[in-house]
């Protein structure tokens, strides 16, 4: 099963297995990873699953966010960067085994 490394804002790392076909947000929620709240459950209507894709993985994740995802990221609490994505929109594949995502300090006020 592919693994994702979630890097908290303080540098702590948590590696979890995320099944193929599942999204990165659910991988965090199902494994108690701090830093992703996913309040809308993956409906792309809240931006509380905002993450930063590690530079080494940006191209493999599937390129930049869609227009709708970019619009939702505008409501993210943390600073939006070029590597910003909504983790609910990143579906795990075998090719993403080892994916590294960085989490913002906070998802909401």
Q: Are 101 and 60 in contact (CB under 8 A)?
A: no
Q: Are 11 and 105 in contact (CB under 8 A)?
A: no
Residue 102 CA neighbour count, 13 Å, CB half: 19
pLDDT of residue 17: 98
pLDDT of residue 24: 98
Domains of the chain are: 3-102 (3.10.20.30)
Token duo for residue 19: 């099944």
pLDDT of residue 64: 77
Give the global pTM.
0.93
Q: How many CB atoms lie within 10 A of CB 84?
A: 21
Q: What is the pLDDT along the chain (109 residues), one digit of tens a residue?
A: 999 999 999 999 999 999 999 999 999 999 999 899 999 988 889 999 999 999 999 999 977 789 999 999 999 999 999 999 999 999 999 999 999 999 999 898 7
């Amino acid at each position: 099963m592919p693994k994702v490394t979630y890097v908290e804002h303080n540098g702590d790392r948590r590696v979890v297995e995320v099944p193929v076909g599942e999204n990165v947000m659910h991988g965090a929620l199902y494994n108690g990873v701090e830093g992703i709240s996913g309040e809308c459950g993956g409906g792309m209507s809240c931006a509380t699953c905002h993450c930063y894709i590690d530079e080494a993985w940006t191209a493999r994740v599937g390129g930049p966010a869609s227009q709708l995802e970019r619009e939702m990221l505008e409501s993210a609490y943390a600073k939006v960067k070029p590597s910003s994505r909504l983790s609910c929109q990143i579906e795990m594949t075998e090719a993403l085994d080892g994916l590294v995502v960085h989490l913002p300090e906070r998802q909401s006020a």
